[in-house]
Structure formats: C-alpha cells, structure tokens
Amino acid sequence: MQPKQYYVYILSSISRVLYIGVTNNLKRRAWEHKQGLIEGFAEKYRAKKLVYYEVTSDVRVAIEREKQLKKWRREKKIALIESMNPSWKDLYDEL
C-alpha cells in the first residue's frame, strides 16, 4: 500500500489573486477548482491556475504549512511561487 500524500497548493487568478489550500489528491482538487465546483474564495476570484505545490506524507505537516503560508505577506508568497515556477505556468498539466 502506498503511503498517503498530502499537498499544500497555491492557485492564482488571471489578476494574480492567490488561494492557498490543502488536499490529499492534487489532480482532482485542481480539476474541481478549474470546473468551479468548489464554492468560496477560489471560485469567487476565479483562482484556477495551479502555480505552486508541496508534498508531504503527514497531514498535520500539510495543515501547519498551509496556515504558515496564509500568514505570509504577499511578496513572500510570490517569491515562493517564483522559486518553483518563475513563469507562473499552470502546473496542472504536469500532474
């Protein structure tokens, strides 16, 4: 049996409004956001482009990291995204 994986991810809208979330199935969750199936902030601001993610096997670590990133200033979040994805391409197709 494969160990569980948990993902902390950042979505961006066209105008670069950022949404941070956590999931155990990144491909499914990103698809749900793209389809507008998840109500709330990401849907309201049309944050549909997967621009950053991290993987861990511990759900507690993922939740703590999500909380940490949500507290960061916008500039720090942008620097984190650009360290992995300098062109802000949609990473969904690579999953």
Predicted confidence at residue 3, as pLDDT, reads: 81
User: Per residue in 20-63, pLDDT tens?
Assistant: 999 999 999 999 999 999 899 999 999 999 999 999 999 999 99
pLDDT, residue 83, reads 97
d(C-alpha 53, C-alpha 24), whole Å: 12
Note whether 31 and 95 are within 8 A (CB): no
Q: Are 68 and 60 in contact (CB under 8 A)?
A: no
CA 43 to centroid of chain Cα atoms: 13
The whole-number pLDDT of residue 94 equals 94
The Cα–Cα gap between 5 and 19 comes to 20
13, burial (CB in 10 Å: exposed 0-12, middle 13-18, buried 19+): middle
pLDDT at residue 16, as a whole number: 95
- Cβ proximity of 9 and 26 under 8 Å: yes
What are the structural domains, with CATH classification, of the chain?
A: 6-94 (3.40.1440.10)
